[in-house]
A = this chain, B = another copy of it.
Amino acid sequence: MRSDLDEIPEHCTVEVAMEILGGRWKLAILRKLLDRTHRFGELMRAMHGVTQRMLTRQLRELEADGLVTRTVYREVPPKVEYSLTEAGRSLEKIVLLLDEWGEWYLDRARRPAHDQTGKSRG
């Protein structure tokens, strides 16, 4: 799925971004990690609704795509920390804008739709 990035033509590089960020929990993970490094369990609790399997898979994909670093501490009990790579951090602006937009959209969708032709946000 992510192995044929080289074949994606120049005129749709947004798709490249979506290939990588399109997973259900990926943006939420990145947003969490923007604040600070998190342990697996912290992310688990923070995302509410994600399963272990899915969180693991999404984290592994982000790691494979070079956006997230996985650090294993061989102690008892085990401890694994996730943080952003430089590439991951390069998404900060986008992630925050998306978050902001989602909030705006939600708020807008909840209104009575009397003023929805005119947007009122910077």
Contact = CB atoms under 8 A, between A and B. Distances in A.
Interface of A: 2-3, 5-6, 8-18, 20-22, 24-25, 27-28, 30-31, 46-48, 63-67, 69, 85-88, 90-91, 93-95, 97-106, 108-110, 116-122
Contacts of A104: 90
How many identical chains are in the complex?
Answer: 2
Contact of A5 (B6, B46, B85, B109): B109
11 contacts: A14-B28, A15-B102, A16-B106, A17-B27, A66-B109, A67-B118, A86-B119, A87-B108, A87-B116, A87-B119, A90-B101
B13 A99 contact: yes
Given A5-B109, A90-B121, A102 B22 contact: no
